[in-house]
Amino acid sequence: MSTASDVGYHAQRQARWHYGEIAFWLIVLACGFAFPSRYLIMTDILRLALFAMSLDLILGYAGIVSLGHAAFFGVGAYAAGLLALHGIVKEPVLALIVAGLAAMVLGFATSFLVIRGVDLTRLMVTLGIALLLEALAERFSNITGGTDGLQGIEMQPIFGEIPFDMFGKTGFFYSLAVLFLLFLLARRVVHSPFGLSLRAIKNNPLRAAAIGIPVNRRLIAIYTLAAFYAGIAGALFTQTTAIASLDVFAMERSADLMLVLVIGGTGYLYGGLIGAVIFRMLQELFSTITPQYWQFWIGLVLVVIVLVGRQRLHRWVLYVPNLIIRQIAGRKAIVAVPESDS
Amino acid sequence: MTIALETQNLEKQFGGLRVTRDLSLKVEQGARHALIGPNGAGKTTVINQLTGVLKPNSGRILLEGQDITDLPVHKRVLRGLSRTFQINQLYPDLTPLETIGLAVSERLGHGGDWWRRMGTRNDVNGEIADLLSRFHLLDVMNEATVTLPYGKQRLLEIAVAIAAKPRVLLLDEPAAGVPESERHDILAVVGSLPRDVTVLLIEHDMDLVFSFADRISVLVSGALLTEGPPEEVARDPQVKAVYLGEEAVDV
Ligand SMILES: Nc1ncnc2c1ncn2[C@@H]1O[C@H](COP(=O)(O)OP(=O)(O)O)[C@@H](O)[C@H]1O
Ligand SMILES: [Mg+2]
């Protein structure tokens, strides 16, 4: 084998599908058939997973911290609600895309504020933008319904064919399809030269610029894309629950998201998905055991994770899948090599 | 002779400290030009201004006759100006393959491709393979940079700068911190750069400077002390004084 094709082979190593990944998605799909009574919570997890994947794109790959990611979720949610309520775009998939684009426009506009500065400034700026939007949504209650939220949203059938049912079955498979498609796109993006340049910027912005990477332009691009993803997650929320209220902008929503990624890990795309499952399950578990103190327990888990070190936890979570994969594909093929986080 | 790189009355201050003083420097096309001077003379600060990491307080910088004083860092690279860092500036989590691949992709204008997997362009792969083997990095091309021995990291540092195919290359103490046993690789690589690449070398090791350079500029306290061919500079009593003074401190 010549060295050039050797290089090509190794350069694509991470981009190849691993058995563990295929198994992961098959299991998710199987859940849709195995637990027909749990569609609502499972749909909720899918939404959260998509939302977390959005944050992972900027945090895990480009190193941009945000405490205001709910801003884009909220814009997507209200956009989808208003489109449906006023019959502007009746078809859900089209409305979903329009809502995502609305969030994307906001993402692009605010990216210029966010990419400047250090982590702390970024936390404050992103938080500020989300709070501002929440205040605006409250102020313009004639449009947004104020504290009551948007009421009486009725969803039309998907593609004019598939109606949403009261058990949430359509909602679940619809959300899963959206999540999977957006995952495929994200997977393609992060393994591209563009995606690699983001990791370079996160690792060392000084060197990134010194090899000719237009750092700011790349950060703006990924921030805008992440806003689109978050907007889609928000729109899914409205479309599958038929409500949109002010809490879509809430800071808790952004903070929960950080927790999801702390649990699941960043920089390998599955962190948001795995984190969302564990986070919601912990939430369920703790709120059944101690309805009043579940937040305390979640907090405790967070502290433990930070103390034990996420790196090690990743290995626990991925221990069994990796074990299986190693048997099949040899030592070097593992589901994910989580990176350290700055 | 055409001038590849030039500074005109460059001036840089940190607070009250004048670190670059009215510096006018000309580096000829294809030259092997060394910029020497004691520690803290402001050599790295000059490089940082040339590459756009720092903005000068006043003065101009010309690359092949064109004013680049206000260009951002990445645009200077695309115009053919590339550098190595005195202290390695690499990507700890990335592999040598990825690190060099990025630099090559960026130069060929494919760095922003988001729809295509890394490693699917044969022209890019070929260049990566070429650089990896030239810099003795083939055997570690899939290891995370942070795990490489220092000498290999130093080679990677230089390889990345060269992956940008510069017409003007700035080397900031390329052999700094490299153990004696691994020095040879670095010197060989620096010595074998193509003649049409203009090189501005900053170096502390006088043996390396005198074996490599055909012209030497001496910087002291941010100002140009003297400049000329190596024999002349070596004889200069002022230079001797500066270096004897420093040598005494170093020992
Ligand atoms: N970012 C900075 N802020 C303040 N002072 C600096 C900075 N960078 C360098 N200096 C000072 O400028 C002087 C020259 O530094 P430098 O250019 O690194 O010297 P050299 O590379 O010749 O050893 C030193 O006194 C150093 O302390
Ligand atoms: Mg220096």
Give domain status of residue A156, yes or no.
Answer: yes
Give domain status of residue A24, yes or no.
Answer: no
Kindly compute the dihedral angle of the four CA atoms of residues B222, B228, B234, B235, in this order, to the nearest 10 degrees: -110
pTM equals 0.90
Cross-chain Cβ contact A192/B83 below 8 Å: no
pLDDT of residue A255: 84
CA distance A172 to A239: 11
Based on DSSP, count helices (H) and strands (E) in chain A, helices before strands. Answer: 16, 0
Q: pLDDT (tens digit, 9 = 90+) per residue, B177-190?
A: 888 888 888 888 88
Give domain status of residue A94, yes or no.
Answer: yes
Asked whether the beta carbons of B183 and B200 are under 8 A apart, the reply is no
Mean pLDDT of chain B: 92
Across-strand partners of B201? B34, B171
Nearest alpha carbon to residue B200 among B166, B160, B248: B166
How many contacts does A have with B, using Cβ atoms within 8 A? 154
Report the nearest-CA residue for atom 17 of ligand 1: B42
**SS3 state at B107:** helix
Considering only residues 60 to 89 of chain B, which have any Cβ-Cβ distance to chain A shorter than 8 Å?
A: 72-74, 77-78, 82-83, 85, 89
Asked whether the beta carbons of A64 and A129 are under 8 A apart, the reply is no
Question: Which residues in A73-109 are b (16+ Cβ under 10 Å) and which e?
Answer: bbbbbbbbbbbbbeeebeebeebbbbbbbbbbebbbe
Q: How many residues comprise chain A?
A: 342
CA distance B43 to B41: 6
- Check pocket membership of B19 for ligand 1, CB cut-off 6 A: yes
Query: What's the distance, CA A227 to chain centroid?
Result: 10
Which atom of ligand 1 approaches the CA of B172 most closely?
Answer: 21
Give domain status of residue A332, yes or no.
Answer: no
pLDDT of residue A135: 93
Report the nearest-CA residue for atom 1 of ligand 1: B14
Give domain status of residue A153, yes or no.
Answer: yes
Print the domain residue range for A171.
35-249
Cross-chain Cβ contact B133/A339 below 8 Å: no
Minimal Cβ distance to A194: which of B78, B97, B113: B113
Mutate to test the interface with B, among A2, A7, A331, A334 (most CBs of B within 10 A): A7
Cross-chain Cβ contact B119/A11 below 8 Å: yes
B184 burial type by CB count under 10 A (0-12 exposed, 13-18 middle, 19+ buried): exposed
- Which one-letter amino acid corresponds to residue B197? V
Asked whether the beta carbons of A281 and A265 are under 8 A apart, the reply is no
Q: pLDDT (tens digit, 9 = 90+) per residue, B71-85?
A: 999 999 999 999 999
Which atom of ligand 1 approaches the CA of B37 most closely?
Answer: 22
B114 phi/psi in degrees, rounded to 5? -110, -10
Tokens 């684009």 sit on residue:
A101
CA distance A341 to A64: 11
Please write down the HEC assignment for all residues of A121-177: HHHHHHHHHHHHHHHHHHHCHHHHCHHHCECCCCCCCECCCECCCCCCHHHHHHHHH
Asked whether the beta carbons of A189 and B114 are under 8 A apart, the reply is yes
- With CA atoms as reference, the chain A residue closest to B83 would be A210
Q: Determine what percent of chain B is predicted with pLDDT higher than 90.
A: 80
Element holding A284 (H helix, E strand)? helix A270-289
pLDDT in tens, chain A (342 residues): 468 889 999 999 888 998 989 999 999 999 999 999 999 999 999 999 999 999 999 999 999 999 899 999 999 999 999 999 999 998 999 999 999 999 999 999 999 999 988 888 999 999 999 999 999 999 998 888 888 889 888 899 999 899 999 889 999 999 999 999 999 999 999 999 999 999 999 999 999 999 999 999 999 999 999 999 999 999 999 999 998 999 899 888 888 898 899 888 888 999 999 999 999 998 888 888 877 777 777 777 777 777 776 565 555 556 655 555 555 544 444 444 344 433
State both tokens at A270: 């599955």
DSSP H helical ranges for A62-91:
70-85
What CATH number is given for B3-90+165-250 in this structure? 3.40.50.300
Does any CB of chain A come closer than 8 Å to the CB of residue B107?
Answer: yes
Q: How many domains does chain A have?
A: 1
**CA-based nearest distance B48→chain A, Å:** 11
Of A225-239, A313-327, B42-56, B156-170, the least confident: A313-327
- Check pocket membership of B14 for ligand 1, CB cut-off 6 A: yes
